[in-house]
Each structure stands twice: as structure tokens, then as C-alpha cells.
Structure 1
């Protein structure tokens, strides 16, 4: 479901935060700033619980797409280099994996309609911004942020890239969610 925006049921960013934090709690990560996204997805949700099948797919088959989540929830596909990179801790690939998990967690088995170019749809009704917000909440929970944080401390603590850390700091500051 990635790449192309779909119109999905409205969700507030606060609701997405609650869902992501629920996932972190289920995995015992409430006090842990680093999210082991590939352990969560492959070792637990795929191998142990069989909730979906995580499939690395050759780049020649995926083309420019980095990931794809089947709308019925049966599988998540990651382009092979993204899959390997996420396991190796590559920051962009970790975010991509979390983004695809978001599609699985909040966009499977729901009505979807393609958003068309020029169509004005608020971000809270679009699949891609929702998945990005979930990935940010899952990988960089607000509870670990302080006023002393810099982009680089966020990158190091949460295993994310510069853009993700910068966007998250800006969002949390704007919303007044950073503690002293």
C-alpha cells in the first residue's frame, strides 16, 4: 500500500500515537528508546505468531518501491536491500519497515480509495501520512524527549536518520510534548 496515497478512515495523530504506544507496550518497550523493528516484525509477528509473512523481494521485482503491505494483511514485502538494511540498522530502512508495519496495523481490511492528483484530502485521511506518523511514534516515542535533545541525540538514541529526527523534534516542540 505504500507510495500511492489512499483515502482511509480519519485518525488523529493522538490516536495513532496511542496505537503505536500500545504496540510498544505489548513488546515490553515502554522504558526502551530503541525499537528493534525487525525483531518485532520477523521474529515475533511473522515467525512466532504468524500474523503475516514478511517477504524480502528482489529489487528487479519491486522496482523503485521500497515496501508493500497487502491490503488484506497477509504479507508485508520489503525490497531485499531495504530488508537487509533494516536488519543491519540502516536508519532509512528501519523507518521504511516501521512504515510498512503501520500499514499492516492500521490499514488492513478497511475500505480504501485511491487519492488522485489534485484531490484535496486532509493528511489525517491519507494512508501515507498516517503510516509515517505511526512509524515516528513507534521509533521515537515522545516520552524519551527532553528540552536538551538535538537532532543528533535523537538519531543516536532511536536509530533514525536526520530527516526523521528533525521532523520529530519539530513536531513534538510544536505540540508542546517535550518535557523539561
Structure 2
């Protein structure tokens, strides 16, 4: 999904952390550091959603979109280079996939509404903010991140980019040193 004419029901970071935790629990992954994104897309989500479809699309078909989600159709698409990055453990691509899983779980049409006019959207109603926050919670559960001492440890343990690790530790009010 991209920024557009829709807004979501308002939510909180705590609620998104809870949804991510519930998904991990359903999949038996609550204590796993390196969330197995590919296995979840290919096997986990189909076990939860009867009609779930995961597709890898060629770059020209996706254009600038790294991923697309159609929640009402239970379908996620990743651009082929992004999927390749996920399989190689690239943090940014893993985050893209987690973001799209967030859209799947959070943004069916019954939870979205059309925005009126050019009014700025409140952060907690922005589907992109929600999917980003969910992605961080899914890949880096608070309870596990709090055991880390360094940003680099967060990056290594959870398979995320430096930016994602920094953002998540800041969100959790954790002060961590960086080791380059």
C-alpha cells in the first residue's frame, strides 16, 4: 500500500506491539530473534489464512513498489529483487516484507476509510506509519531487544538495518552504543 486517499482506524504503538506478538505466538516464534520472514510468507500465513496468496513479481510489473498488499484478497506481492534480498537476510528487504504483513493484518477495507480533502492525516491513523511500526515490532520484539547492549547486536540478532535498529531502540527509549 502507499500513501493515498485512505486512513486507518486510530491505533497505538502498544496495540501494534500486541498484534505482532500475537502473530509470533500463533506461529510459535515468540522467543525467536531472527524472524523467518520467508517461511512465514510461504508457509505460516497460508496456515492462518485459508486463501492467502504470496507472489513474487518481476521488477517491471511492480515499478517503484517494493511490495504490495491486498488485505481483502489475503495477498502479498514482493518485487523479485526485494524477495531475493529477504532470502539473503538483507535488513531493509526483511523490513519491507514485515511491513507488508502488517498491511495484511491491519488494513482490510472494513478498517480503512477515505480521507476527505487535503487535511493532514493523524500519525496514528496513517496506514504506512502503522505498517512500519508493526514491522519493527514483528522483527524486533521489545522484550528481546531490551536484552541487547549495542545497536550492532540488534542488527545482527534480528536481521535488520542500522536505521531500523536505531529507530526501534529510540522508540523503546533504550540508549545503546554503536560499534562500527
TM-score (norm 2): 0.87
How far did 1:110 drift?
A: 2.0
For residues 20-31 of structure 1, what are the structure 2 equivalents within 5 Å?
Answer: 20-31=20-31
Do residues 143 (structure 1) and 143 (structure 2) align? yes
Is 2:148–2:154's contact at 8 Å kept on the other side of the alignment? no
Residue matched to 2:70: 70
How far did 1:151 drift?
A: 1.4
How far did 1:114 drift?
A: 5.1
Aligned residues: 175
Gaps of 5+ in 2: 176-180
Bigger CA drift: 133-142 or 51-60? 51-60
Bigger CA drift: 20-29 or 103-112? 103-112
Closer, same or farther: CA 67–115 of 1 in aligned 2, 3 Å: farther
Residue matched to 2:125: 125
Residue matched to 1:38: 38
**Off by >6 Å, runs of 4+ in structure 1:** none
Closer, same or farther: CA 5–138 of 1 in aligned 2, 3 Å: farther
How far did 1:71 drift?
A: 3.9
Q: CA RMSD in A?
A: 2.3
Residue matched to 1:61: 61
1:54 counterpart SS class: strand
How far did 1:95 drift?
A: 0.4
Measure the CA separation in 2 of the matches of 1:128 and 1:117.
19
Closer, same or farther: CA 121–82 of 1 in aligned 2, 3 Å: same
How far did 1:34 drift?
A: 1.4
